[in-house]
């Protein structure tokens, strides 16, 4: 069992390694490797998840101690419990479909094989994150997932906006991750453990009133704010649409952005213990849900609409976790993965078929692209929350949790948000597929390799809600939370259906019947229109404050570096030259002088000694006289 669990992330890693090294030679065959790896992981996940379902609980926990701090171990391991099983299913299933879809979408790209390498690396990172048994390990894969996101967003890096978007995503994520890491450190310091298996309600109970841990929980949540695009760190997600659409589908809709939700769900016992923290989380989530929907209603880029929709739905999930519905939040995560992936892949199909992303140029595509239209239609109905499709069940669960938890304000805001959701989604549908084509586009249907995943996901969007519905006795929620009770409130259900219907009607009127009404309304409520269109100027405010300040700091640092440090280096260089010049002088005059002197003295002495033997008799006689003189001197003295 451990082998199978380890292989789940390992297969995509092997696929990544192979494609990275042999991609040029393999060419289009690298896609097959990636597909094989992801489908293999899917099948292995099924085999691993089965025991969990049968046991109604944790099936596998295996770990290795990496290091010890203060006598407490930091471990790396594998944890397969109900929550990670859900994630395994979602990631591998939806992931495989998207990998297959990418074969068609990235068909003519010059860096075809590298895309699949990155996709494989991402699957490895995400699966590693899902199977993590400790917070530290999760953080490790968290960062890795962020790195893959950077690679994939900036895949077409020749385009300036794409490179910028990748950088923005990574940096914004990192800001959240600072809080995440501090939270981990604080948590470890206070409780002495970071293993998920240790974090149970009984374990957390003694710490119930510690302010430190409340603060630590909020810090941990900061990671989710960054990764799951909550307000105020949501600004990277719309820009991330610069990446190829399969990337948007996989990472920024179905899997990576929900890592934050997954992490908060993992820390469920912690949230139960600290009501202040969960309150904060709920508020953040609700704000995000509302603002996301608010921005989505005026966007014209099809992918931007879906991006803000994702932000809004993530807000729903986080709110669910904040108000006490862990099962509801996770349920919505699963259903959202299906219909949001479907929406993105469908948008990708439209972009592939029409060549444009601007909805103002689209229209009347229903006839030209029927294989894309019907799945998208199903997805829109699902996300709007129309029963009996999956979206309804999950969204209803969230609303019920809010309502029954006495969070009235949150409940009504979510209700309005649900209405807005229905509105902008049907707006998208009508603008794209209904009426007559406005722009000069020639639409053609996408190939089967792209439309077949759409069909599969559409079936999934319909059926995936059933495990959590009353038709199956709320099996899903009981699977995740064996001890919690599941309630269904009639009032909430009726309100939920009503809001979806109202949204549909408004969209129908604006975009199907009276098509000049939107401009009229935009003119009337121009303040709201501008605020929505400009995303409440979040990017502009950040730019003029934080970014501006950091650029100033970096400019000063650069000047310091070039003046002080480079000057120091130059001075050292100059001193070295000076030293070498001195040494040259020493070498030339002193050393060479000594050597020359030795030769010179040899010459002189030999010259002197030479005179002893001149071959000249009278010189010898003179030397004899001198010798005589010496003897006389000696004798006389």
* Interacting residue ranges for another protein, rule: CB under 8 A: 614-618, 621-622, 625-626, 628-629, 632-633, 636
Output the CA torsion sign for 71, 76, 79, 83. positive
Nearer of residues 3 and 613 to another protein, judged by Cβ: 613
The residue (of 513 and 635) whose beta carbon lies closer to another protein is: 635
- Least distance between another protein and beta carbon 618 (Å): 5
* Structure token digits, residue 110: 């010059």
Of 485 and 635, which CB lies nearer to another protein in the complex structure?
635
Comparing C-alpha atoms, which of 367, 390, 375 is closest to residue 345? Answer: 375
Nearest approach in angstroms of CB 619 to another protein is 9
- For another protein, give the closer residue by CB, 32 or 621: 621
- The pair of structure tokens assigned to 252 is 């920024």
Residue with Cβ nearer another protein (595 or 629): 629
Closest approach of another protein to the CB of residue 603, in Å: 17
CA–CA separation, 461 and 344 (whole Å): 13
Two structure tokens written together for 8: 């789940």
291 token code pair: 């603002």
Question: Which residue's CB is nearer to another protein, number 448 or number 625?
Answer: 625
Cα 149 from Cα 600, distance rounded (Å): 79
How far apart CA 287 and CA 417 sit, in angstroms, is 10
Question: Helix/strand/coil (H, E, C) string of 144-203?
Answer: HHHHHHHHHHHHHCCCHHHHHHHHHHHHHHHHHHHHHHHHHHHHHHHHCCCEHHHCCHHH
Which CB atom, from 68 or from 635, has the smaller least distance to another protein?
635
Nearer to another protein, 409 or 625 (CB): 625
Q: How far is the CB of 602 from another protein (least distance, A)?
A: 19
What is the crossing angle of helices 275-296 and 408-433, to 10°?
30
Helix (H, G, I), strand (E, B) or coil at 621: helix
**Residue closer to another protein (CB basis): 576 or 614:** 614
Could you give the C-alpha distances from 605 to 38, 513, 599, 611, 636, in angstroms and in order? Answer: 93, 123, 10, 10, 31
Contact 413, 286 (CB under 8 A): yes
- Provide the minimum distance between the beta carbon of 601 and another protein in the complex, in angstroms, as a whole number: 23
CB of 595 to another protein, least distance (A): 28
Going by the DSSP 8-state scheme, the letter that residue 446 receives in this structure is P
Number of H helices, E strands in the chain: 29, 2
Judged by DSSP in three states, 483 sits in coil
């Amino acid at each position: 069992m451990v082998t199978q669990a380890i292989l789940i992330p390992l297969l995509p890693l092997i696929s990544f390694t192979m494609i990275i090294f042999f991609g040029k030679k393999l060419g289009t065959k690298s896609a097959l490797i990636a597909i094989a790896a992801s489908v293999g992981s899917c099948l292995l996940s099924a085999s691993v998840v089965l025991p969990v379902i049968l046991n109604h609980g944790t099936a596998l926990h295996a770990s290795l101690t990496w290091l010890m701090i203060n006598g407490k171990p930091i471990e790396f391991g594998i944890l397969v419990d109900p929550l990670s099983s859900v994630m395994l299913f979602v990631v591998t299933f939806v992931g495989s479909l998207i990998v297959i879809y990418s074969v068609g979408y990235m068909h003519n790209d010059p860096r075809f094989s590298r895309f699949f390498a990155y996709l494989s690396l991402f699957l490895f990172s995400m699966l590693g994150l899902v199977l993590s048994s400790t917070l530290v390990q999760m953080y490790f894969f968290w960062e890795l997932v962020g790195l893959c996101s950077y690679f994939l967003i900036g895949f077409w890096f020749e385009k300036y906006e794409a490179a910028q978007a990748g950088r923005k995503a990574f940096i914004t994520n990192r800001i959240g991750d600072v809080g995440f890491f501090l939270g981990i450190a604080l948590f470890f310091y206070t409780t002495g453990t970071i293993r998920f298996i240790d974090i149970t309600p009984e374990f957390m109970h003694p710490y119930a009133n510690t302010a430190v841990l409340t603060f630590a929980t909020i810090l941990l949540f900061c990671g989710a704010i960054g990764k799951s695009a909550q307000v105020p760190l949501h600004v990277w997600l719309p820009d991330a649409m610069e990446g190829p659409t399969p990337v948007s589908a996989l990472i920024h809709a179905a899997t990576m952005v929900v890592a934050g939700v997954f992490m908060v769900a993992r820390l469920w016992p912690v949230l139960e213990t600290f009501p202040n923290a969960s309150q904060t989380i709920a508020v953040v989530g609700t704000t995000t849900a509302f603002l996301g929907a608010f921005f989505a209603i005026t966007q014209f880029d099809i992918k931007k609409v879906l991006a803000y929709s994702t932000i809004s739905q993530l807000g729903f999930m986080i709110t669910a976790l904040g108000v006490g519905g862990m099962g509801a939040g996770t349920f919505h995560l699963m259903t959202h993965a299906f219909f949001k992936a479907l929406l993105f892949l469908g948008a990708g199909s439209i972009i592939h078929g029409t060549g444009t992303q601007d909805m103002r140029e689209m229209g009347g595509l229903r006839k030209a692209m029927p294989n894309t239209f019907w799945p998208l239609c199903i997805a829109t109905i699902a996300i709007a929350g129309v029963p009996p499709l999956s979206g309804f069940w999950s969204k209803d669960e969230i609303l019920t949790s809010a309502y029954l938890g006495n969070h009235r304000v949150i409940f009504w805001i979510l209700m309005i948000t649900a209405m807005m959701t229905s509105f902008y989604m049907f707006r998208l549908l009508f603008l794209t597929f209904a009426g007559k084509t406005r722009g000069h586009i020639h639409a053609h249907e996408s190939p089967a390799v792209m439309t077949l995943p759409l069909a599969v996901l559409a079936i999934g969007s319909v059926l995936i809600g059933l495990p959590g519905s009353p038709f199956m006795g709320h099996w899903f929620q009981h699977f995740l939370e064996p001890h919690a009770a599941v309630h269904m409130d009639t009032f909430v259900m009726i309100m939920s259906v009503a809001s979806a219907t109202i949204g549909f009607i408004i969209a129908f009127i604006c975009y199907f019947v009276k098509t000049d009404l939107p401009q009229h309304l935009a003119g009337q409520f121009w303040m709201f229109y501008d605020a929505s269109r400009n995303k409440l100027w979040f990017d502009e405010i950040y730019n003029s404050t934080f970014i501006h300040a950091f650029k100033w700091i970096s400019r000063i640092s650069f000047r310091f570096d070039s003046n002080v440090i480079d000057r120091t280096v130059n001075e050292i260089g100059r001193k070295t030259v000076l030293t070498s010049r001195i040494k040259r002088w020493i070498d030339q005059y002193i050393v060479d002088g000594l050597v020359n002197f030795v030769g010179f003295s040899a010459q002189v002495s030999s010259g002197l000694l030479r005179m002893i033997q001149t071959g000249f008799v009278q010189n010898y006689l003179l030397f004899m006289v001198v010798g005589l003189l010496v003897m006389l001197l000696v004798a006389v003295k």
